[in-house]
Chains A and B, each alone.
Chain A
Amino acid sequence: DAGVTQSPTHLIKTRGQQVTLRCSPKSGHDTVSWYQQALGQGPQFIFQYYEEEERQRGNFPDRFSGHQFPNYSSELNVNALLLGDSALYLCASSGGPRSGNTIYFGEGSWLTVV
């Protein structure tokens, strides 16, 4: 039973570029949430996808967008990258008949913007 998988694990981008991060949820999960964790900070909720729609959104600008596919996998896109976007991006999955409230994190994608 695969857990939450994310790709890529590390990447470096230049200011102004665009980036796409990918996530496959844990088997049986239908809800994917994205979090940004800056160095020394707690994870900050970006948004959540359920049934291929954005269900909730945190306090992040429109440069952050996402998508969920019919197989429940998800992408996070960030446009016009800023130096401050450098962070660990965590994908979390939840849902399904036996998971209750528990969410499971992927290993994360380390993004460095230079």
Chain B
Amino acid sequence: GENVEQHPSTLSVQEGDSAVIKCTYSDSASNYFPWYKQELGKRPQLIIDIRSNVGEKKDQRIAVTLNKTAKHFSLHITETQPEDSAVYFCAAEWPGDDKIIFGKGTRLHILP
């Protein structure tokens, strides 16, 4: 069935260092992979997304890579800052569905 695995569940990174969160998906037909950031008490906010015809996408300090053969994708945050502390969710969409399946989330702590 449709499934998205995400790890680690918790990640602590020194301020200024890089953080990497990894996800795998089950259905090779998936073609859209968004990443959401959720701060305490707020809705998930889309921070970056990638489509299956692209291997990498970058937006300032965040980047996402996609390996369709291995069915995994990763979020990279460089030069981390305190405001990066949040829960991050990866997700995958099934073609034509507009239905998003989420990973279980990664709680990112940026240490001073």
Q: Which residues of A are interface residues toward B (Cβ below 8 A)?
A: 31, 33, 40-45, 48, 50, 56, 90, 92, 94-95, 101-108
B46 touches A45 (CB 8 A): no
Q: What distance in Å separates the Cβ of A38 from its nearest Cβ neighbour in chain B?
A: 11
Q: Which residues of B are interface residues toward A (Cβ below 8 A)?
A: 6, 31-32, 34, 42-46, 49, 51, 89, 93, 97-105
With A92-B100, A94-B98 known as contacts, the answer to whether A41 contacts B44 (CB < 8 A) is no
Bound complex: CA of A44 vs CA of B97, how far in Å? Answer: 15
B98 touches A43 (CB 8 A): no
B102 touches A95 (CB 8 A): no
A102 touches B49 (CB 8 A): yes
A48 touches B98 (CB 8 A): yes
B46 touches A102 (CB 8 A): yes
B98 touches A33 (CB 8 A): yes
Q: What distance in Å separates the Cβ of A34 from its nearest Cβ neighbour in chain B?
A: 11
A31 touches B43 (CB 8 A): no
A106 touches B98 (CB 8 A): no
A45 touches B34 (CB 8 A): no
A42 touches B89 (CB 8 A): yes
With A42-B105, A90-B44 known as contacts, the answer to whether A102 contacts B100 (CB < 8 A) is no
The 12 sampled A-B contact pairs (Cβ below 8 Å) are A33-B98, A42-B6, A45-B100, A56-B99, A90-B44, A94-B98, A101-B51, A102-B34, A103-B34, A103-B98, A103-B100, A105-B44
